[in-house]
Amino acid sequence: MKRIGVFVYGAVAYAVFFATFLYAIGFVGGFVVPKSIDSAPTSPLAQALLVNALLLGVFALQHSVMARPAFKRLLTRFVPEPAERSTYVLASSLALIALFAFWQPIGGVVWDVQDPVWRAVLHGLFAFGWGLVLVTTFIINHFDLFGLRQVWLYLRGRPYTRLAFVTPGPYRLVRHPLYVGWFFAFWATPTMTAAHLFFAVATTAYILVAIRLEERDLTAEHGASYTDYRRRVPMLIPRLSRRRPGIGQPKPTAA
């Protein structure tokens, strides 16, 4: 029964994540959902900025602290080890749901592209960013990244094994294609409101800090293999040179 319970818990955590991911597309893109990042303001500017900063801070704190190895070791004292990743995924999703629910639109337009061709280009880059995020998770093993592989192996009574150290697809061009996708998703918009700009700047700053923390953990875990990979493959912007980067990309740890 414990194994079944852990598997159900992992499946529910994944379902919450995927629903949250789909909602996030509408929230950032400004369609379908009842309140988006660009909705009409409903509170004073100072209050909106404070609330939004707190919401983003809570998400960043949860996302980074729970990804650290020391916290994982502490967490597994209270939850079964196979459910550790699912717990992280669920907590991240709940932090995002809180952000969606309590986000305070600000109003004001920073830029507004009216030319239909350029609007289509920016919408295309927005879609490309979300697509790259999703595709990248499957390239590195989507189900391991979001905890389903761990709970499935536990259900079957099989030990968990870490993924092999490889550089599939875009990981041969940059070390963090997942984050590149987020940049496109957050910045590519034909209409940039003040709230959207605040969100994009804050998340960009967080990602740049998170990369440093993540790579510190990966270097500690994989040693010379990751150090060599880090030396040969750029972080976010592909090199123009045709020289092939080296191999060796570990399963990323979310930050």
What's the pLDDT score for residue 149? 94
What's the pLDDT score for residue 23? 97
- Burial call 103-132: b when 16+ CB within 10 Å, e when fewer: bbbbeeeeeeeeeeeeeeebeeebeebbeb
What's the pLDDT score for residue 141? 87
Tokens of 239: 């090199």
Per the DSSP assignment, residues forming a β-bridge with 193 are 109
What parts of the chain have a pLDDT lower than 70? 165, 241-255
Per the DSSP assignment, residues forming a β-bridge with 192 are 111
Whole-model pTM: value is 0.86
What's the pLDDT score for residue 148? 94
Tokens of 125: 């880059």
What's the pLDDT score for residue 253? 44
Q: What is the pLDDT of residues 110-141, one digit of tens each?
A: 999 999 999 999 999 999 999 999 999 999 88
